[in-house]
Amino acid sequence: MPPPPPAARAPGHLDAAAPGGGPEAQPLDVVGIGNALVDVVAVAGDDVLAAAGLVKGSMELVDLARAREIYAAMGPAVEVSGGSAANTMAGVAALGGRAGFVGKVADDDVGAVFTHDIRAIGVEFHPVVARPDGGNEELVGTGRSLVLVTGDAERTMATHLGTATTLSADELPVDFVARGRVVYLEGYLWDLPAAKKAMRRAIAECQRHDGAVALSLSDAFCVERHRRDFLELVRDDLDVLFGNEQEVRALFGARTLEAALRAAEETGLLVAVTRGALGCVVVTPRGPVAVPAAPVDHVVDVTGAGDLFAAGFLYGLTHGSGPEDCARLGALCASEVITHLGARPQADLRHLADEAGLLGQAP
Amino acid sequence: MPPPPPAARAPGHLDAAAPGGGPEAQPLDVVGIGNALVDVVAVAGDDVLAAAGLVKGSMELVDLARAREIYAAMGPAVEVSGGSAANTMAGVAALGGRAGFVGKVADDDVGAVFTHDIRAIGVEFHPVVARPDGGNEELVGTGRSLVLVTGDAERTMATHLGTATTLSADELPVDFVARGRVVYLEGYLWDLPAAKKAMRRAIAECQRHDGAVALSLSDAFCVERHRRDFLELVRDDLDVLFGNEQEVRALFGARTLEAALRAAEETGLLVAVTRGALGCVVVTPRGPVAVPAAPVDHVVDVTGAGDLFAAGFLYGLTHGSGPEDCARLGALCASEVITHLGARPQADLRHLADEAGLLGQAP
């Protein structure tokens, strides 16, 4: 299933700055930082969502007791590795890109599953491993996300972050982060006070090496919670911004898509606004360009659609494609992940992209 | 996904013998006893099988070190509850039957997943929970089966039984087993010296209550290992026997299918011989009857085909169907489980069976 590792590429502009000189120290196209999570996926009726008090399509953080309660109400489930930025890195690797990931896991079965799966698809994973301290049960296990998929293919998530909550700035592997030509951050991390500082450190490290910083807005409620932080990032730090229409409107306080696109254009960043079946709009300083969604016969589960869009986009960006082709590749990757349960690619994305003429060239 | 619990049925012939009188003590159509396992499923090339020294289509028991080695060589995986008899009970429950299951789990994440999933589909699960003794690492965790699915939809399994290995006769919940009108045993249990005694006890308990005893032969290599034991069971204890052509031929030392069917007929048991796409043959004292396979567009993963055949067959048997209709329902259930990864039903089996006119009547 995972494509073979990519052939050696011409050294990028970060080679000189890469720490050490061994094969481990090669530059990476993208380093993602996010919550290391395993998804527990079950098909559910709207009644289960209602009984659990969950808002369809959203992601809610839940404590261990509530996670157990919701799990007990769920039907038979499938466990599959997830985590927003981790899914994106899996997609970049499946396309043949060099992807790295930083996330915090515990030394438990769930952590082993996460570690196995992300490495098996070809991502260089730098785990931050929680020390067993026998302390607060809320924080000691690897995180998991309960994903309820309704008949309309929409996904609703209740996430117990577990040990991911405790990722701190001190634990950030800065040499590893510095190897990324792009550093990709998930907005969900702003829900964690400690991780916010770690993200600041990652951004500083990336900028020190002339890397690009990309952010995914993650979830409209997440944007509401951290609007001021995100607007500061947009103003001071970011190069690339990903979000769906709802999230981007929430960020800019825009009533219409058009107003949101104008605000996006004013930022001067590269902004990709996804719109589900309506495709996406890429905004550059030269204006917005609409790109259609890739056709899909039957949508099963939209989990990971945004994550895999970002994967295709970032692969394109680091392989010499223009913004429109980046968006096309993003749309292609998203179209694969919504045809099955789970947010990691199952088909050979590199083959699909090659067939579509979207692999681009090494930069 | 799981069908609603079945409407209350007229009490069966075991009511008087059921221990206690609460709702928990109602008779069950089938009680299955088997290894409680979670499957770790990955798509794999033939090269991965060859490198791991696995024989395609077989199930091999592996120790923890070898399980880790094979897992490391596997691609990204999906975790989904499995275990042969457990899958069968999941199928019986999905059809609306009253199913119970006995298996041994540890107090760990994998055990929690197994317990959740089997209960969520409607099976009354009686876990035997291993005590944490911090002892032999080989025995302390809930069992898991590494399932490698090749492009031809064949599955090859490497199973680390973990704590399932330690199920003993003393731990068998005899009152629970006695509630089964049929007790269904998986042949794999004969690989465990302690479980063999537990099975003897289960058979005696079942017979004491006039229940029927059914056995699945599980795997041709398993039959080779325990041929003498299985032939004794056939002679002295069984009412129903399940196996594929290869397994039944191995059991009776028959060179041809015809010879195996003759040997099966001489046993006087109800014997169901599955033959993959060729359908199955049901042997009764009145001779063999061939039943075709249910049509399938695209076979993805044959894991669980035999288990779900047994589910449909046992549901029919406990709901007044004749052997041929039992086999038809078995074939229908098998046809659903081979269209997706994983060995538990995902579609509404009761609805499918109802549409096919195969639900039968309460006995």
Distance from CA of A48 to the nearest CA of B (A): 12
Distance from CA of B345 to the nearest CA of A (A): 10
What percentage of chain A has pLDDT greater than the value 70?
Answer: 91
Inter-chain CB proximity B76 and A342 less than 8 Å? no
Inter-chain CB proximity A77 and B117 less than 8 Å? yes
* Cα dihedral B84, B89, B92, B95 sign: negative
Q: Does A109 touch chain B (CB under 8 A)?
A: yes
∠ CA A40-A144-A42 to the nearest 5 degrees? 15
Q: Which residues pair with A104 in a beta bridge?
A: A128
Residue ranges of chain B whose pLDDT lies below 70: 1-24, 133-135, 361-363
**DSSP one-letter code for A228:** H
> Any idea which fold A26-35+83-140+162-355 has?
UDP-N-acetylmuramoyl-L-alanine:D-glutamate ligase (3.40.1190)
Question: Which pairing describes strands B99-105 and B28-33: parallel, antiparallel, or unpaired?
Answer: parallel
Tell me the per-residue pLDDT of A20-47, one tens digit each, with 9 for 90 and over: 334 457 999 999 999 999 999 999 999 9
Q: What is the pTM of this model?
A: 0.90
Tell me the per-residue pLDDT of A79-103, one tens digit each, with 9 for 90 and over: 999 999 999 999 999 999 999 999 9
Question: Within a 10 A sphere around the Cβ of A21, how many other Cβ atoms?
Answer: 9
Residues 6+ apart with CB under 8 A from A112: none
Cα–Cα distance measured from residue B305 to residue B290, given in angstroms and rounded to the nearest whole number: 17
Q: What pLDDT is attached to residue B54?
A: 95
Residue A355's identity, in one-letter code, is E
Cα–Cα distance measured from residue B82 to residue B342, given in angstroms and rounded to the nearest whole number: 8
Q: What pLDDT is attached to residue A194?
A: 85
DSSP string covering B261-299:
HHHHHHHTSEEEEE-GGG-EEEEETTEEEEEPPPP-S--
Q: CB under 8 Å, gap of 24 or more: what pairs does A249-257 form?
A: A250/A217, A250/A220, A250/A223, A250/A224, A251/A217, A251/A223, A251/A227, A257/A281
Question: Which pairing describes strands A155-160 and A59-61: parallel, antiparallel, or unpaired?
Answer: parallel
CATH top class, domain B25-36+84-133+166-355? alpha beta
Q: Is B124 in a helix, a strand, or coil?
A: strand
Q: Does A113 touch chain B (CB under 8 A)?
A: yes
Inter-chain CB proximity A79 and B78 less than 8 Å? yes
**Region A335-363 average pLDDT:** 90
- Tell me the two tokens of residue B51: 């490198």
Per CB-CB distance under 8 Å, the chain A contacts of B90 are 76
Tell me the per-residue pLDDT of A53-82, one tens digit each, with 9 for 90 and over: 999 999 999 999 999 999 999 999 999 999
Per CB-CB distance under 8 Å, the chain B contacts of A81 are 76
Q: Does B109 touch chain A (CB under 8 A)?
A: yes
Inter-chain CB proximity A116 and B79 less than 8 Å? no
Cα–Cα distance measured from residue B75 to residue B72, given in angstroms and rounded to the nearest whole number: 8
Residues 6+ apart with CB under 8 A from B349: B3, B91, B94, B95, B311, B312, B332, B333, B336
Between chain A and chain B, the number of residue pairs with CB atoms below 8 A apart is 71
Tell me the per-residue pLDDT of B257-311, one tens digit each, with 9 for 90 and over: 999 999 999 999 999 999 999 999 999 988 999 999 999 999 999 999 999 999 9
Tell me the per-residue pLDDT of A112-164, one tens digit each, with 9 for 90 and over: 999 999 999 999 999 999 987 666 778 889 999 999 999 999 999 999 999 99
Q: Is A207 in a helix, a strand, or coil?
A: helix
Inter-chain CB proximity B77 and A113 less than 8 Å? yes
Cα–Cα distance measured from residue B183 to residue B173, given in angstroms and rounded to the nearest whole number: 13
Q: Nearest-CA neighbor of B40 among B352, B348, B341, B320? A: B341
Q: Which residues pair with B102 in a beta bridge?
A: B33, B126
Q: What is this model's ipTM?
A: 0.88
